[in-house]
């Protein structure tokens, strides 16, 4: 009974077009079993990052208006301030696992590529639906990883905003992946049971045989295989080495150290020399703040209880009790950098603004445009002992690139919310 027609057997649709003897369900399963834990870590830490942004708080909204995603607050508590390295760790894991997954994902797609040209293309309604879900799986996966990588390059060739696109792409991808795993797990377990998890890696070239298919299942195993030119272990070792290598290079940007300069896919460099020589995401020159707005005429405006704002210059702020804290800036791009900051506690400034017990703080930058011009912190973040309006770093004044005259530093706050060039603090 053949209810669904065959396409003409031409080009890649022809049985026998795909000849690599290494392709097949065992190789696909092995690569999947390496890919799945990496993707799980990447997905969980990705959704954690969304939580850490606190899009439900006022100016943090990522989507226009109170759309889905903005109300996402798992604990109802907001993001914590302890341990201080929390976001550096979760976002570091996100970027390292995502980058390490790339070579394995590409190898997996290479392995199953013949299945794209299955002929007949559709065997049943269920089979059609399953193949349709693969469009979301492959499309969503490639889209999410590609947008992540080019975001790290600060390259936005597309006409849509990165965060919602990456977020919704990830949701589609994870949903399709859950379905895919549920559908394929039995086959994977069967293949490992029959062929062993790693046993085929032992074969030298002379013993490398084409992978057999599985009776009754359409697989990527070749119908007519060519002679092997590569062992399975060479293929797997090459993919594994690429994955570990790329992952280690990205990890250099998270933990620092000699690998730091090798992070080709995470290229945030240091700037200059001296106490201010640590990575800069957006330079002062890039944001378009007029030079005279950060000169001697700069005043911090504090708003809250009273009708009129309180204004303080840098000298007055430096005359207040100073707090010291060694804290990381942890960027969404995965890199982090721990520095020694000095400044005035945000809670101290709240009291000057006439707010004893601030619920939230909206930080306004002098920066004229962009989502980072206004950022909102939760109660725990404003009231933390080490939540600072930093004036100095490593014993010297902040450089312009690091936010002079003043910037926000709060333990475990995502780097993107550590506002530079602060102009106004609005306590509520
Ligand atoms: N006003 C403003 N503040 C900002 C940014 C910005 O673009 N504008 N970038 C943020 C991001 S994404 C990060 S990771 C940190 C980087 O701080 P640094 O350049 O001092 O290392 O600053 C944050 N503060
Ligand atoms: Mo960042």
- Is residue 416 lining ligand 1, measured as CB closer than 6 Å? yes
Q: Which range among 77-81, 130-134, 263-267, 327-331 shows the weakest confidence by mean pLDDT?
A: 263-267
Which residues lie near ion ligand 2 (Cβ < 5 Å)?
A: 281, 331-332, 415-416
**Calpha distance 169→162 (Å, rounded):** 10
Q: What is the mean pLDDT of the chain?
A: 92
Cα 100–Cα 104–Cα 105 angle in degrees, nearest 5: 100
Decide if pLDDT at 230 tops 70.
Answer: yes
* DSSP code for 210: P
- CATH T-level topology, domain 284-427: Sulfite Oxidase; Chain A, domain 2 (3.90.420)
Peptide bond preceding 38 in cis form (omega within 30 of 0):
no
Q: Which two tokens stand for residue 129?
A: 């639906």
Decide if pLDDT at 59 tops 80.
Answer: yes
Decide if pLDDT at 103 tops 90.
Answer: yes
- Quote the pLDDT of residue 41: 98
Mutate to test the pocket of ligand 1, among 153, 372, 397 (most ligand atoms within 8 A of CB): 372
Mutate to test the pocket of ligand 1, among 282, 328, 343 (most ligand atoms within 8 A of CB): 282
pLDDT tens track for 161-175: 888 899 999 999 999
Residue that has been written with the tokens 């999947």 in this structure: 32
Closest ligand 1 atom to residue 280 Cα is: 19
- Please give the model's pTM, rounded to 2 decimal places: 0.93
- Quote the pLDDT of residue 147: 95
Backbone angles phi, psi at 344, to 5 degrees: -100, 140
Q: Are strands 300-303 and 422-427 parallel, antiparallel or unpaired?
A: parallel
Backbone angles phi, psi at 38, to 5 degrees: -65, -45
Query: Rounded to the nearest whole angstrom, what is the distance from the C-alpha of residue 282 to the centroid of ligand 1?
Result: 6
Confidence of residue 254 (pLDDT cuts 50, 70, 90): confident
**Mean local confidence (pLDDT), 105-122:** 96
Decide if pLDDT at 262 tops 60.
Answer: yes
Q: At what angle do helices 162-195 and 25-52 cross, to 10 degrees?
A: 150
Query: Rounded to the nearest whole angstrom, what is the distance from the C-alpha of residue 218 to the centroid of ligand 2?
Result: 45
Decide if pLDDT at 200 tops 80.
Answer: yes
Q: Are strands 388-393 and 396-397 parallel, antiparallel or unpaired?
A: antiparallel
- Is residue 421 lining ligand 1, measured as CB closer than 6 Å? yes
Q: Which residues pair with 397 in a beta bridge?
A: 392
Of 137, 140, 139, 149, nearest in space to 99 by CA: 149
Of 143, 164, 147, nearest in space to 156 by CA: 147
Q: Considering the chain, what percentage of its residues have pLDDT values greater than 90? A: 78
> Boundaries of CATH 3.90.420.10 in the chain?
284-427
Of 96, 415, 147, nearest in space to 259 by CA: 96
Are the C-beta atoms of 255 and 92 separated by less than 8 Å?
yes
Coil, strand or helix at 391 = strand
**Calpha distance 225→21 (Å, rounded):** 5
Decide if pLDDT at 31 tops 70.
Answer: yes
Decide if pLDDT at 388 tops 90.
Answer: yes
Q: Which residues pair with 398 in a beta bridge?
A: none
- Is residue 423 lining ligand 1, measured as CB closer than 6 Å? no
Closest ligand 1 atom to residue 408 Cα is: 24
Q: Considering the chain, what percentage of its residues have pLDDT values greater than 70? A: 92
């Amino acid at each position: 009974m053949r209810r669904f027609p065959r396409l003409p057997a031409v080009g890649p649709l022809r049985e026998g077009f795909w000849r690599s003897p290494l392709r097949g369900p065992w190789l696909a399963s092995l690569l999947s079993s390496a890919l799945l834990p990496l993707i799980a870590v990447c997905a969980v830490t990705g959704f954690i990052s969304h939580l850490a942004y606190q899009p439900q708080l006022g100016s943090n909204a990522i989507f226009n208006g109170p759309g889905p995603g903005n109300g996402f607050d798992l604990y109802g508590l907001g993001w914590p301030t302890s341990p201080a390295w929390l976001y550096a760790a979760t976002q570091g894991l996100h970027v390292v696992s995502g980058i390490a997954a790339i070579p394995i994902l590409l190898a997996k797609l290479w392995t199953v590529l013949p299945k794209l040209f299955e002929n007949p293309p559709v065997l049943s309604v269920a089979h059609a639906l399953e193949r349709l879900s693969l469009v979301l799986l492959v499309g969503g996966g490639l889209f999410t990883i590609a947008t992540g990588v080019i975001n790290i390059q600060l390259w936005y060739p597309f006409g849509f905003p990165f965060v919602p696109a990456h977020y919704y792409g990830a949701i589609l991808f994870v949903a399709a992946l859950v379905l895919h795993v549920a559908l394929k797990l039995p086959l994977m377990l069967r293949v490992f049971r029959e062929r062993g998890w790693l046993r085929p890696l032992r074969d030298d070239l002379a013993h490398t045989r084409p992978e057999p298919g599985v009776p009754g299942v359409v697989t990527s195993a070749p119908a007519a295989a060519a002679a092997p030119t590569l062992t399975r272990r060479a293929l797997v070792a090459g993919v594994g080495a690429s994955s570990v290598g790329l992952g280690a290079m990205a990890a250099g940007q998270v933990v620092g150290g000699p690998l730091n300069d090798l992070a080709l896919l995470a290229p945030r460099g240091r700037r200059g020399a001296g106490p201010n020589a640590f990575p800069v995401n957006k330079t002062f020159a890039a944001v378009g703040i007029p030079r005279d707005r950060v000169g001697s005429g700069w005043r911090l405006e504090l708003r809250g209880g009273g009708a009129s704002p309180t204004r303080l210059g840098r000298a007055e702020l430096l005359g207040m009790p100073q707090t010291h804290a060694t804290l990381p800036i942890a960027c969404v791009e995965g890199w982090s950098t721990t520095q020694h900051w000095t400044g005035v506690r945000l809670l101290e400034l709240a009291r000057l603004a006439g707010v004893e017990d601030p619920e939230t703080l909206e930080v306004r930058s002098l920066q004229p445009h962009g989502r980072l011009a206004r950022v909102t912190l939760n109660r725990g973040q404003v009231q933390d002992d080490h939540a600072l309006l930093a004036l100095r770093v490593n014993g010297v004044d902040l450089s312009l690139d690091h936010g002079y005259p003043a910037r926000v530093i709060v333990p475990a706050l995502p780097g993107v919310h550590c506002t530079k060039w602060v102009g106004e603090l609005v306590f509520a």
